[in-house]
Amino acid sequence: MTTQAYLQFGRATWPQTPMQTTGVPVKTTEQPQAGKYNVTGYGPRIPSRYMVQYLGRWRRVYIANYGNSGTAYIGPRGDWIATVTIDKSEE
């Protein structure tokens, strides 16, 4: 199984900016204990088991989850650098 990550930069909401997608390396790590972040599994910054390489550093992928699905992203607390798409494919 091959895993690839894609970072999407830009805004889809007002004010809109052009979207840019870049492929980056991804690795799977131990998932931090979610219980100390939010017992329900919902919230703006739930840590995932994935890390992506961006600007020479490995950054944790976080999930903003308010319903039945969430959005993966990277960025410091209170900021959103890029949306992340993880693609797992069978070879």
- Gap between the terminal Cα atoms of the chain: 6
Work out the pLDDT band at 73, boundaries 50, 70, 90.
very high
Segment 17-51, tens digit of pLDDT: 788 899 999 999 987 765 566 667 788 888 899 99
Q: Is the pLDDT of residue 16 over 60?
A: yes
Specify the higher pLDDT residue, 90 or 42.
Answer: 42
User: Cα–Cα distance between 89 and 91 in angstroms, integer?
Assistant: 6
Report cis status (omega within 30 of 0) of the bond before 76: no
Task: Please report the pLDDT score of residue 36 as a whole number.
Answer: 61
* pLDDT, averaged across the chain: 85
Residues constituting the chain:
91
Instruction: Give me the torsion for CA of 12, 7, 67, 31, rounded to 10°.
Output: -160
Structure tokens at 77: 């607390």
Structure tokens at 81: 């650098």
User: Hey, where are the domains in the chain?
Assistant: 2-89
